[in-house]
Amino acid sequence: MNGEISNLYVCLMGMGFVFFGLICLVIVCHMLSAIARMKEQRTSGSMAQSTESSGIETAAASQEDDGLIAAVTAVIAEETGKDFSSIQVLSFKRI
């Protein structure tokens, strides 16, 4: 071999580093997702308590939702070619 590095060795080392990096990336994504879920649960719990105590929805949030629904409906009407007034929104849930 006279000090030459095999092509197979280089290929396997390269693939090994790539897959190791991808595995590390998946682990980091799962950890960040778990942290985000914990924060969301903590904030949604406090928000649920505050809305239960007040029982009143603010007008600003309602107007914001109405504007969002109008924008989504306009996009759907444009893409499907239908008239804007013929589209009826039965329910809308944020994801």
What percentage of residues in the chain have a pLDDT greater than 70? 75
Model confidence pLDDT, tens digit, residues 83-93: 877 888 787 77
Q: Are 92 and 69 in contact (CB under 8 A)?
A: yes
Model confidence pLDDT, tens digit, residues 42-68: 877 666 555 554 444 555 556 667 888
Residue 12 has pLDDT above 70, yes or no: yes
Enter the tokens of residue 30: 């799962």
C-alpha span between 88 and 84 (Å, rounded): 9
